[in-house]
Amino acid sequence: MDEPLVALPIRSFRDAYRRLAGSYSPDERAALALALASHTAGAVLRAGVKPHIVTSAREVRKWALAKGHQVVDDPPGGGLDGAAYEAVRLAGGRPWLVLHADLPCLSPDEVVLALDVARSGERVLAPSYDGGTSALGGRGRHPFRYGAASFHRHLPAGPPPRVITSLGFLLDIDRPQDLAAAARHPRGAWLAESAVPLG
C-alpha cells in the first residue's frame, strides 16, 4: 500500500497567532504554536505516519528535525496554497493529506479516517468551526484556495468529497475562547499540563 504524505504547513512559531496578540505576549504565542504543532504531529505519528513539516522558519525546522520529522522547504511567497502544492508535488501519485497544525483535540483515529478516505482515491475535506479547512486530502493534483471561508471554496474544487465533521478537525485556535474551550474538553486536557498560558 502506498505510504501517504501528511503535510503540516507551519509558517513560524515566533510570529504565530497575531490575532491573539491582545491576550498573549509574543513568547506566549510562540509557546502555544510549538505546543499545538507538537500535539498535532504526535497525533499523526500515532496514526502510523511520519509528518512532513512544510516551513521556511529556522526555529520550526530545528524543532522538526530534533523530533525526527521530515522537513519540506516552504516555497517563498506561496503562502498556505504554495505549501500545499509543494506537499502534493512531493507525494507524486501517493495519497496526501494537508493538515493544519493547530488542532488541540485532534485524535489519531481522526487522522486514520481521513487517510483511509485519501487512500481510497476519494477527496477528503474537514472544515473548522468558522468555515476554514482543517484537513484536505486525496490523490494527484488539486487546486488550493485557503483563506477565510476556504471550506466553501474547496468544496466544489474537485470531485464530491467525503466531508468529516468531528471535534478534532472542527476546533482550531483563532481566539482566546477557542483555547479555553479546548482546555475544558477531555481531549484538550493536556493543555492544562503544558506551558501554554490559558488566561
CATH number of the domain at 132, please.
3.90.550.10
H or E stretch at 77: none
Domain presence at residue 144: yes
Contact 168, 102 (CB under 8 A): no
From first to last of its 199 residues, what are the pLDDT tens digits of the chain? Answer: 578 999 999 999 988 888 888 888 899 999 999 999 999 999 999 999 999 999 999 999 999 999 999 999 999 888 999 999 999 999 999 999 999 999 999 999 999 999 999 999 999 999 999 999 999 999 999 999 999 999 999 999 999 999 999 999 999 998 889 998 999 999 999 998 776 667 5
Domain presence at residue 198: no
pTM confidence score: 0.94
Domain presence at residue 100: yes
Contact 111, 47 (CB under 8 A): yes
Contact 180, 32 (CB under 8 A): no
Domain presence at residue 55: yes
Q: Classify residue 29 as exposed, middle or buried by CB count within 10 Å of its CB (0-12, 13-18, 19+).
A: buried
Which residue range forms the structural domain that includes residue 132? 5-193
Domain presence at residue 199: no
Q: Which residues contact 154 (CB under 8 A, 6 or more apart)?
A: 125, 133, 136, 144, 145, 161
| Tally of domains in the chain | 1
d(CA 87, CA 59): 20
